[in-house]
Amino acid sequence: MFQKTRLRLLWAYLGIFASILSVFAIAVRIVFVQTMTNQVVDKLTTLGQTVAASSGFKNGRIQVADNLSVQDLDVRRQSLQWIDIQGNTILIQGNRTLSLPSVIRESIQIQPSKPSLITVNIPIVDTYNRSLVGYLRVSQSLDELHETFRKLDIGLAGGAAIALILVGMGGIFLSRQAMQPIEKSFDRLQQFTADASHELRSPLMAIKASSQVALRYPEGMRPSDAEEFKSIVRSAERMSRLTEDLLLLSRMDKKLKVTWESINLTELLQHLVKQFQAQALEKDLTLISQSNIDLMIKGNSEQILRLFTNLVENAIHYTPSGGKITVSVNSISQWIDVVIQDTGVGIAPEQIEKIFDRFWRADTSRSQWTGGSGLGLAIAQSIAESHGGKIKVTSQLEGGSCFTVRLLAL
Ligand SMILES: Nc1ncnc2c1ncn2[C@@H]1O[C@H](COP(=O)(O)OP(=O)(O)O)[C@@H](O)[C@H]1O
Ligand SMILES: [Mg+2]
């Protein structure tokens, strides 16, 4: 019963942790990438500034010797490119040059691929007349940096996966711990309901029997007293039904094993419709069964009968005189759908999800029919679910309701 809640708790726990972990990993990656890129830019800037400072000039133009040898230049990964103020290349050293168009200003350019490079443009200033004469483009391959980022990604993803597995295991333990007291108190409540219903049976039977005995000789009592005794019998009967319902629900909650057998559903429904025919006639209702082929299911016949009794009973109670109730059976692949359709008072859309709650009754139902307790649909749903099925409802206020019970075919 608490399996779903436990699972929801676990998923929520994992979801929150995964979100925190993702934010953390993204932040770590951003900071790491930024720091590493800044380090490379700083290194290239220092190298570029040293080389630019040692450039020679002639007539306001850069003069670079073709055989210039720059210390600290790693020709495999880095390159230097002197360009004049118009953007024309004067000299290139190293084999990593930017294929992107030249930018004639101090800037950092990143070429994402083929090959991936980072380039720093350093202005070259003629120290003699303090005029800008060109730029030195210092480039470095980003392959190594990308490899480092890739390793970081693998590390972060692997770490996150391991952390999630550990959190999942911790979550299972924690959700179990968190649910334990709730499960215990629910068990106690269930036991109490079962015990109380059981204990109430005998005194209720005694009240009913004594009142019936007293009613056997009504001539000896005042007419008003006889009415009182009749009312006692009716109330005792209602209370007996209620305690039986509560007992059944607590047994269903405990998932006590009941014997299952093959049930001819068509026959069971036809029989049920016949049984309710008199009650329907009394209310001037048309109650028909539309099922001809024999459809079989596996289950507990007593419970299945109870399920459909509750639904047909509701259809009769909540359909005004002159209405129509149809019970039909359809077979859809491995499922059997039993549809109970009425032309009754219907259920408001906002109340549909509440109708299966224990003791819930629409306000109109409370005033219309005092025989109900609000447990009928809870019992029906519990029985359907214990048989691997479910109940679906569609309804329109004043337009009738349609209850579909889906059960597994044999
Ligand atoms: N066929 C129906 N048409 C309209 N309302 C219904 C129908 N079946 C159930 N309901 C609503 O759902 C409530 C819960 O049904 P149920 O659990 O059987 O309790 P009860 O019949 O004892 O009131 C009812 O009180 C009624 O308001
Ligand atoms: Mg009912």
Are 14 and 56 part of one and the same domain? yes
Note down the domain range covering 308. 261-408
Measuring CA to CA, how many Å separate 188 from each of 122, 252, 254? 79, 15, 11
Are 102 and 10 part of one and the same domain? yes
Asked if the structure places residue 319 within a domain, the reply is yes
Q: Provide the CATH number for the domain around residue 55.
A: 3.30.450
Pick the closest to residue 409 from 301, 339, 321, 332 (CA basis). Answer: 332
HEC per residue, 29-48: HHHHHHHHHHHHHHHHHHHH
Ligand 1 pocket test, candidate residues 318, 339, 375, most atoms within 8 A of CB: 318
Are 212 and 228 part of one and the same domain? yes
Q: Which of these three, 132, 149, 166, is where a domain ends?
A: 149
Amino acid in the structure at residue 108: I
Work out which ligand 1 atom sits closest to the CA atom of 372: 22
For 220, which DSSP code? G
Asked if the structure places residue 267 within a domain, the reply is yes
Tell me, yes or no, if the pTM score tops 0.85: no
Are 133 and 112 part of one and the same domain? yes
Asked if the structure places residue 82 within a domain, the reply is yes
Are 298 and 242 part of one and the same domain? no
Measuring CA to CA, how many Å separate 405 from each of 245, 299, 337, 392? 20, 14, 6, 7
Asked if the structure places residue 112 within a domain, the reply is yes
Are 226 and 270 part of one and the same domain? no
Are 215 and 85 part of one and the same domain? no
Ligand 1 pocket test, candidate residues 314, 325, 404, most atoms within 8 A of CB: 314
Give one word for 239, left, alpha or beta, with left for phi > 0 and alpha for psi -120 to 50: alpha
Distance from the CA of 218 to the center of ligand 2, in angstroms?
A: 33
Are 351 and 284 part of one and the same domain? yes
Query: Nearest 5°: phi and psi at 360?
Result: -85, 130
pLDDT at 313: 95
Q: Provide the CATH number for the domain around residue 246.
A: 1.10.287.130
Is omega for the bond preceding 349 within 30 degrees of 0, making it cis?
A: no
For 101, which DSSP code? P
**Closest residue to atom 21 of ligand 1, CA basis:** 372
Q: Which of these three, 233, 253, 273, is where a domain ends?
A: 253
User: How many domains is the chain built from?
Assistant: 3
Are 359 and 242 part of one and the same domain? no
Q: Which of these three, 253, 275, 293, is where a domain ends?
A: 253
Pick the closest to residue 317 from 378, 276, 360 (CA basis). Answer: 276
Are 351 and 212 part of one and the same domain? no
Q: Residues 6 or more apart from 152 whose CB is under 8 A from it?
A: 29, 32
Rounded to whole angstroms, the Cα distance separating 36 from 41 reads 9
Tally the residues of the chain.
Answer: 410
Rounded to whole angstroms, the Cα distance separating 44 from 108 reads 10
Asked if the structure places residue 106 within a domain, the reply is yes
Asked if the structure places residue 64 within a domain, the reply is yes
**Closest residue to atom 19 of ligand 1, CA basis:** 374
Question: Which ligand gives the minimal distance to the CA of 354?
Answer: 1
Asked if the structure places residue 158 within a domain, the reply is no
Are 127 and 188 part of one and the same domain? no
Are 62 and 196 part of one and the same domain? no
Residues within 6 Å of ligand 1 by CB: 310, 314-315, 318, 342, 344-347, 355, 360-362, 365, 372-378, 401
Query: Nearest 5°: phi and psi at 43?
Result: -65, -45
Distance from the CA of 314 to the center of ligand 2, in angstroms?
A: 5
Question: Which ligand gives the minimal distance to the CA of 367?
Answer: 1
**Closest residue to atom 24 of ligand 1, CA basis:** 361
Distance from the CA of 375 to the center of ligand 2, in angstroms?
A: 7
Distance from the CA of 81 to the center of ligand 1, in angstroms?
A: 86
Q: Provide the CATH number for the domain around residue 294.
A: 3.30.565.10
Work out which ligand 1 atom sits closest to the CA atom of 356: 17
Distance from the CA of 270 to the center of ligand 2, in angstroms?
A: 20
In tens digits, the chain (410 residues) has pLDDT values of 788 888 998 999 999 999 999 999 999 999 999 999 999 999 999 988 888 887 777 776 777 776 677 777 787 888 888 888 888 888 888 776 666 666 666 788 888 877 888 999 998 888 777 788 888 889 998 888 999 999 999 999 999 999 999 999 999 999 899 889 999 998 898 899 999 999 999 999 999 999 999 888 888 788 888 899 999 999 999 999 999 999 999 888 888 888 999 999 999 999 999 999 999 999 999 999 997 788 999 999 999 999 999 999 999 999 999 999 999 999 988 999 999 999 999 999 999 999 999 999 988 766 666 678 899 999 999 999 999 999 999 999 999 999 999 999 98
Query: Nearest 5°: phi and psi at 320?
Result: -70, 160
Asked if the structure places residue 159 within a domain, the reply is no
